[in-house]
Amino acid sequence: MLNIPYLLAIPVLLVIYNLCGYLLRRPRQTLSYPPGPRGLPIIGSFFDVLTPRTGLDAQWAIYRDMGTMYHSDVFHINILGDHTVVVNSAKAAEELLERRSGIYSSRPPMHMAHESGWGWAFSVLPYTSWWRLHRRTFHQYFRSDAIAAYHPFIRQATSRLLRSLSCIQSTTMVTQYDDLQAIVRQHAASIILYTTYGITEQEDMDAFVELFNNSAESILTLVHGAFLVDYFPLLRYIPAWFPGAHFKRKATRWAQINLELLNKPWKQLRASISSGTGLSCFGTKSLQKFDLKFNAADATGDTSDLGMSKTDSDTKMEEVIKNCAGVAYIAGSDTSISLILISVLVLSHHPEIQVKAQEELDRVLGSTPNATQLPDFPDRGSLPYVEAILKELMRMYPSFPLGLPHCSVADDVYEGYFIPKGTTVVGNAWTILHDENIYPDPHTFSPDRFLRTEPQRGALSAKHSVNPDPELYAFGFGRRICPGRHLALDTSWLVLACLLATCNITRISSDKSKEIDPIADFADGLTAHPKPFKCSITPRSAGAFELIKRGYEVGVEA
Ligand code: HEM
């Protein structure tokens, strides 16, 4: 039975709570916030951030247009007393998110993500010693010099990807979007499942890919403000049966799936270690190291900052490793899928770029009728044009256009504007990567821009030149920069080089009006995914087809 007074009390309490929060959070100093919409009393600019101004309704486009409207590279939005500052320039991102990273490396509360069971993922944790322990643990086996250990498997997975594409039809690889997406998804998942859990069996992979697909919808909870509860935390206490409380019901369902996502592959890893069949991967290596480390910890006792005794530290460390493995799986799959799908779409629109890349590849590897091997990691330095294509793809189509929100842990002042403690700070990578002051003619897809200035891979010195390396912005900022970027870049580079070396990608346009525009037609979400498109992927020659079938030489594969 519904209790009517109780039902009526909830909205009243919500309004009172919010009014108090609004009054308490009003600035107590004279400096003003960065420019931004004035908003309505109490609810602030709630409706401003929902309204597209130029027909593009992706959130990065709304934020870009708001920056233009307020003539500022940093603007402020107040929604229900919750402060957000959006950073639309490289200069401001560098100053706030990198130089002042001591202030801007936390995360906002992300209530919906926590309600949906993502609390174990360190990507949503605030800046604490618990987060630092996760980040350090993760970094050890995903840093640039550790990734080479996974190259044999990445090669194997890439040749499998090429073969899967060729299996769609025997001599002509015409792909429908669903087929392409399924194959790319398998590829990305196989690499993450292997590197984190040592899982290689197809049957196991299929089960985990399905689990991931079930949880994919809940990744939207990581977008700050995608759910009202992020602005209005009291909504968490509304019961799931309450009319309109769909988010509660969704959160309950997602929490169950996300717990399975964390536990199932971990259980399998544990079983494989017990039976002596565990492969060398993040999970096994970290567990081994942790045993050693905790012998050493007896001497150093370095777990004190976590408030743990040595007896519970073993259990805690296992939890940390398990959480890191789980987060690699969720953070690594969707982003990598996005980059590969975007590569295929964009290349299908640029046959002239394919020809130029193929000339380079043929020069280095031998022309395809005579080529004896697929491109490989040691060839990377000799293929500057292929590298430039990858950089231009990341620049023009960043897979994670708004990254994850940061949060400030102290009051701050930037260029005379006040940014209060607890402000959510969003780095708009899309706008930075399309800023004509640093990337001239930003809406033209032109890999050549990176040949002219020759930026070093990710080098800081490239930051202040024209056409700086897009890696500097596409992977987030400061202490929160993506720790999986080395794996992502190696994986994507090999797919791109192999596709270009062996295939021609052509767009299929039966109906011009329905063709996907590689700039405008992106499904909105945390990661950018092109809307369904059609293309044909055909081997460049009979020699190339043979090369695809053969894959890497025996001995090179894992
Ligand atoms: C094209 C592929 C990828 C892109 C574009 C990408 C981009 C990003 C971005 C923008 C962030 C937010 C950084 C910030 O808060 O400033 C992030 C965080 C993260 N990424 Fe990636 N990523 C990719 C692939 C991967 C892979 C393959 C892994 C795992 C192996 C991974 C693991 C993570 C983790 C764990 C975080 C959270 C870091 C933290 O909160 O401290 N990512 N990524």
CA dihedral sign of residues 90, 431, 454, 331: positive
Q: Which residues contact 539 (CB under 8 A, 6 or more apart)?
A: 166, 171, 173, 502, 503, 504, 545, 548
Cα 205 to middle of ligand 1, angstroms: 22
Contact 437, 513 (CB under 8 A): no
| 3-class SS of residue 360 | helix
82-87 β-sheet, strand order: 74-79, 82-87, 424-427, 406-407
Q: Is 488 in the pocket of ligand 1 (CB under 6 A)?
A: yes
- Supply 437's token pair: 């002051």
Q: For atom 32 of ligand 1, which residue has the closest CA? A: 484
Q: pLDDT by residue (tens digit) across 441-473? A: 999 999 999 996 555 455 544 566 789 999 999
Cα 116 to middle of ligand 1, angstroms: 20
**CA–CA–CA angle 177, 181, 186 (5° rounding):** 155
In Å, what is the CA distance from 318 to each residue of 265, 475, 550? 14, 28, 41
Q: Is 487 in the pocket of ligand 1 (CB under 6 A)?
A: yes
Q: Is 113 in the pocket of ligand 1 (CB under 6 A)?
A: no
Cα 192 to middle of ligand 1, angstroms: 13
ipTM: 0.99
Q: Name the region of 85 (left: φ>0; alpha: ψ -120 to 50; beta: rest).
A: beta
Ordered DSSP codes for 474-521: HT--GGGS-TTHHHHHHHHHHHHHHHHHHEEEEE--SSGGGPPPTTT-
Contact 49, 402 (CB under 8 A): no
Ordered DSSP codes for 361-377: HHHHH--TTT--S---G
Q: For atom 21 of ligand 1, which residue has the closest CA? A: 482
> Which of 402, 326, 348, 3 has its CA nearest to residue 134?
326
CA dihedral sign of residues 258, 260, 266, 269: negative
CA dihedral sign of residues 367, 373, 374, 377: negative
Q: Is 142 in the pocket of ligand 1 (CB under 6 A)?
A: yes
Cα 432 to middle of ligand 1, angstroms: 18
**Residues 190, 185: Cα–Cα separation, whole Å:** 8
Q: Which residues contact 231 (CB under 8 A, 6 or more apart)?
A: 46, 79, 80, 82, 225
Choose one of 122, 335, 390 to mutate for the ligand 1 pocket test, by most ligand atoms within 8 angstroms of C-beta: 335
> Which of 476, 451, 406, 532 has its CA nearest to residue 102?
406
Q: Is 190 in the pocket of ligand 1 (CB under 6 A)?
A: no
Neighbours of 542 (CB within 10 A): 11
Q: Is 156 in the pocket of ligand 1 (CB under 6 A)?
A: no
Contact 477, 97 (CB under 8 A): yes
In Å, what is the CA distance from 456 to each residue of 130, 452, 459? 34, 12, 5
Neighbours of 56 (CB within 10 A): 16
- Supply 1's token pair: 């039975």
Q: Say whether 324 counts as a known binding-site residue.
A: no
pTM recorded for the entire structure: 0.87
In Å, what is the CA distance from 331 to each residue of 205, 287, 323, 526? 17, 21, 12, 11
Q: Is 283 in the pocket of ligand 1 (CB under 6 A)?
A: no
> Which of 276, 269, 147 has its CA nearest to residue 201?
269
- Supply 416's token pair: 């005379």
Cα 404 to middle of ligand 1, angstroms: 9
Which ligand 1 atom sits nearest the alpha carbon of residue 131?
A: 41
Cα 488 to middle of ligand 1, angstroms: 9
Q: Is 336 in the pocket of ligand 1 (CB under 6 A)?
A: yes
Cα 102 to middle of ligand 1, angstroms: 19
User: With helix as H, strand as E and coil as C, how does 304-340 read?
Assistant: HHHCCCHHHHHHHHHHHHHHHHHHHHHHHHHHHHHHH
Choose one of 482, 486, 492 to mutate for the ligand 1 pocket test, by most ligand atoms within 8 angstroms of C-beta: 482
What are the CB-based long-range contacts (under 8 Å, 24+) for 164-171?
165/503, 165/537, 165/548, 166/539, 166/545, 166/548, 166/549, 171/539, 171/545
> Which of 481, 480, 478 has its CA nearest to residue 97?
478
Q: Is 483 in the pocket of ligand 1 (CB under 6 A)?
A: yes
Q: Is 484 in the pocket of ligand 1 (CB under 6 A)?
A: yes
Which ligand 1 atom sits nearest the alpha carbon of residue 329?
A: 29
**Residues 437, 26: Cα–Cα separation, whole Å:** 36
Ordered DSSP codes for 442-471: TTS--TTHHHHH---TT-GGGGGSSS--TH
pLDDT at 288: 87
Q: Which parts of the chain have pLDDT scores under 50?
A: 1-2, 52-55, 168-172, 174, 292-303, 305-306, 456, 460-461, 555-558
Q: Name the region of 79 (left: φ>0; alpha: ψ -120 to 50; beta: rest).
A: beta
Q: Is 278 in the pocket of ligand 1 (CB under 6 A)?
A: no
Helix (H) or strand (E) holding 60: helix 59-69
Q: Is 426 in the pocket of ligand 1 (CB under 6 A)?
A: no
**Residues 313, 315: Cα–Cα separation, whole Å:** 5
Cα 53 to middle of ligand 1, angstroms: 29
**Residues 345, 353: Cα–Cα separation, whole Å:** 13
Q: For atom 24 of ligand 1, which residue has the closest CA? A: 332
Q: Is 477 in the pocket of ligand 1 (CB under 6 A)?
A: yes
Contact 34, 420 (CB under 8 A): no
Which ligand 1 atom sits nearest the alpha carbon of residue 488?
A: 27
| 3-class SS of residue 397 | coil
pLDDT at 539: 87
Q: Is 404 in the pocket of ligand 1 (CB under 6 A)?
A: yes
